[in-house]
Copies of this chain bind each other. A is one copy, B any other.
Amino acid sequence: MEHDFDNTISLLARTPATLDALLRDLPDAWTLQNEGESTWSAFDVVGHLINGERTDWMPRVKMIIDFGEARAFTPFDRWVQQRESQGKSLAHLLDEFARLRSENLRELRAMKLRPEDSQRRGRHPSLGVVTLSQLLATWAAHDLTHLHQISRVMAHQYREAVGPWKQYLGVLQCAGHSLP
């Protein structure tokens, strides 16, 4: 489908509750384990999503509106959550993510973007020219890529436990496709 503003908002609005239902009070054996060195646990992913709400998505929306292609976006630090999540509980991170997402969507709606704004252009530091529409679609797809990752990281913990069923479970064949 084409990018649709309302469909994007519908998805973005649901991610905090989805992760909450899946992860809150789940045993640490599921949420704190990763797939090996330099990979992320579900806990790490929630920290990364929080960082995205703070430094990536809405700041880039505003840069497109304010500066167009004249200024490149600030590159996104994909490892900052290692430091920022330290000492916090997963419950705390889930609350923080829900609060930030809700504030960001309120701000996005308040901008009252018009259909013609979707083709406004900005500059990505390595991808070059991108549109507002592509940025918003990516925000939604980025939620899905991390839901995809969390389901894979958690399934990995039962890789041996499932015995011969391993061959039938697609998630156990998933190579990750991106780092991490």
List chain B residues, Cβ under 8 A from A26: 10-11, 14
* A104 interfacial contact with B, CB 8 Å: no
Are B148 and A161 within 8 A (Cβ)? Answer: no
A152 to B149, CA, bound (A): 10
A6 to B30, CA, bound (A): 12
Chain copies in the assembled complex: 2
Contacting residue for A33 out of B1, B176, B177, CB 8 A: B1
* A147 interfacial contact with B, CB 8 Å: yes
* A85 interfacial contact with B, CB 8 Å: no
Are B148 and A155 within 8 A (Cβ)? Answer: yes
In the complex, chain A residues 11-37 whose Cβ is within 8 Å of any chain B Cβ: 11, 14-15, 17-18, 20-22, 26-27, 29-30, 33
Interface residues in chain A, defined as those with a beta carbon under 8 Å from any beta carbon in chain B: 1-4, 6-7, 10-11, 14-15, 17-18, 20-22, 26-27, 29-30, 33, 124, 127-128, 130-131, 133-134, 137-138, 140-142, 144-145, 147-149, 151-152, 154-155, 157-158, 160-165, 168-174, 176-178
